[in-house]
Amino acid sequence: MNKAFDIGVESLGGNGGTGNSGLDANSSGLSGGGIHSRKFNATGKLDFTGGVVPADVAAAAKSFGDTESGGTFFLETFGCQMNDHDSEKVAGLLLSRGYRQVETPEAARMILYNTCSIREKAAQKVFSRLGEYRERGADKIIGVLGCVAQQEGQDIFRRAPWVSLVCGSASYRKLPEMLAELEAGNKRVTGLDNDTDETFETEITRRDNPWRAYLTIIEGCDKACAYCVVPHTRGPERSRGSESVLREVRQLAELGYSEVQLLGQTVNSYVDPTARHMTFSDLLLEVAQVAGIRRVRFTTSHPRDFGADIVEAIDREPKLCDHIHLPVQSGSTKVLRAMARTYTREEYLEKMALIRGAKRPISITTDIIVGFPGETDEDFAETLSMLDEAQYDGVFGFKYSPRPNTPSLALNDPIPDEVKGQRLAMIQEKQRVIQTARNLAMLGQELDVFVSNKSRRENQWSGHTSSNRVISFSSQERELLGSYVRVKVTDSGTGSLTGVHVLEVEG
Ligand code: SAM
Ligand code: SF4
């Protein structure tokens, strides 16, 4: 079955595993879209086949000279879209230094694992994975990158002594120097500073997704939500200069990308550090002006910093996609206060009203945490009623997971896992009914679809709508990958839309 908006992996499974949110590239349908196809060459300009390296990257890598067979790396990524994109930049950086990326750990001299620690299960996975790597490559350099590296620090060497590199995301710029230290025989190298005001920008990024290019515009987070490790693992908020962002968008357009997604843990808290002092909405509008760009997405928006100017920009500029991921976390003001989310239920609903007042319908998706310490049945009932009131197009539900270095660790009144599971299941059921009805209401509508997948079934294709729904459709055309077409919705389910190709959309 094809998926349009997801109810959320964790809530669908109800198992408290690793849920995906708007920042997660592996989630189907939502903001990442799960379209990690690397095979197609739709525009003739991008070629990810085989080598998984676009031509310009390969050329740049070559200019640094070919490496010996020792300079090979295997890179595995776990976690959110920011992690996926960090890995794209890490790979680009290493390629530019002459390293060569390989497809299996066995073929590599160096195994790098980019990790996530947002919930406990995600962090637990890291050590079992590291054990597997040891079995598969005793003589290799093994490095841990990302949030678990930052969170566990040197302790990783104690728990997994075969690891020789531990590097948090704020230190990626220094990776080549750290790798040189390892090559020189140093057995343990760390990069764990996160009190930086630098962003991680590279000359070269190796992009995995041939249809949608991700760009980080703001790194870190200053919001300090009581449950969240991100401020600890990714450091303080650092915005990237607007000119640097626009330069990269122009390069992407030249490479053949027509869709870009601006990333940040709180993307709309963007503050241009340069003399231009562009606001986030100004930046959105300028990105949309870049020749060749047809769709601009952004995620994740923090409700506190969400203003009318963003909706006005979407109203003005059709290239700004009609989807906003606006995590609410809870429908209870009491719980929101305990979470330190900096808004009340009413204030959140006011932001939603701004979005609902837009000239065209804008899809809204959200994240919800159930079982935060002290969440009563009454509080949870307010979260359920929030779903009724908000009528979300997608919800990612998570069981609260206590994390190291977070303020909520000190809170009493933990909610039993069984109760968290029941609450998650109730969220899932309510959202299933809401989504089924919302998808049903789309029958007969004609939607613009960016085609990113050809089914093995004859004449069947799929792609994303501007609202980030995935739709599968039939067409008699022979080649549609990478094109924009109009599709009429003929069928719908809870998580799926089906349609038929009506006509091409002018560029
Ligand atoms: N920066 C985004 C925001 O503020 O909404 C998302 C950050 S996080 C990568 C994605 C989601 O994970 C959050 O929105 C939240 O719902 C969930 N999350 C974060 N910490 C959690 C925790 N300790 N337990 C359960 N879920 C958590
Ligand atoms: Fe975490 Fe809150 Fe920052 Fe999002 S806004 S990354 S949930 S601290």
| pLDDT at position 5 | 55
**Proximal ligand: closest to the CA of 405:** 1
Residue type, 55: A
300 C-alpha vs ligand 2 centroid, how far in Å? 10
Q: How many helices (H) and strands (E) does the chain have?
A: 15, 19
| pLDDT at position 2 | 40
Query: Tokens 């929101």 appear where?
Result: 336
227 C-alpha vs ligand 1 centroid, how far in Å? 8
| pLDDT at position 506 | 76
| pLDDT at position 39 | 25
Q: Whose CA is nearest to atom 2 of ligand 2?
A: 225
| pLDDT at position 503 | 85
DSSP string for 153-208: TTHHHHH-TT--EEE-GGGGGGHHHHHHHHHTT-S-EEE-----------S----S
**486, 22, 239, 242 alpha-carbon torsion, rounded to 10°:** 0
If residue 11 lies in a helix (H) or strand (E), which one and from where to where? helix 9-13
| pLDDT at position 53 | 36
| Regions of the chain where pLDDT drops below 70 | 1-70
Tell me which residue of 231, 240, 148 sits closest to 195, measured CA to CA: 231
By the 8 A CB rule, do 196 and 235 touch? yes
Q: Check residue 34 and give left, alpha or beta (phi > 0: left; psi -120 to 50: alpha).
A: left
11 C-alpha vs ligand 2 centroid, how far in Å? 20
Tell me which residue of 77, 73, 95, 53 sits closest to 142, measured CA to CA: 73
Q: Which atom of ligand 2 is nearest to the CA of 228?
A: 1
Residue 223 near ligand 2, beta carbon < 6 Å = yes
| pLDDT at position 196 | 83
99 C-alpha vs ligand 1 centroid, how far in Å? 34
Question: Residue 366 in 3-state DSSP?
Answer: strand
Q: Which atom of ligand 1 is nearest to the CA of 227?
A: 23
Tell me which residue of 172, 204, 198, 211 sits closest to 34, measured CA to CA: 211
**Proximal ligand: closest to the CA of 395:** 1
**Proximal ligand: closest to the CA of 226:** 2
336 C-alpha vs ligand 2 centroid, how far in Å? 13
Q: Whose CA is nearest to atom 22 of ligand 1?
A: 401
Q: How confident is the model over 40-97, as pLDDT tens digits?
A: 222 323 332 222 334 443 443 333 333 444 589 999 999 999 999 999 999 999 999 9
Residue 338 near ligand 2, beta carbon < 6 Å = no
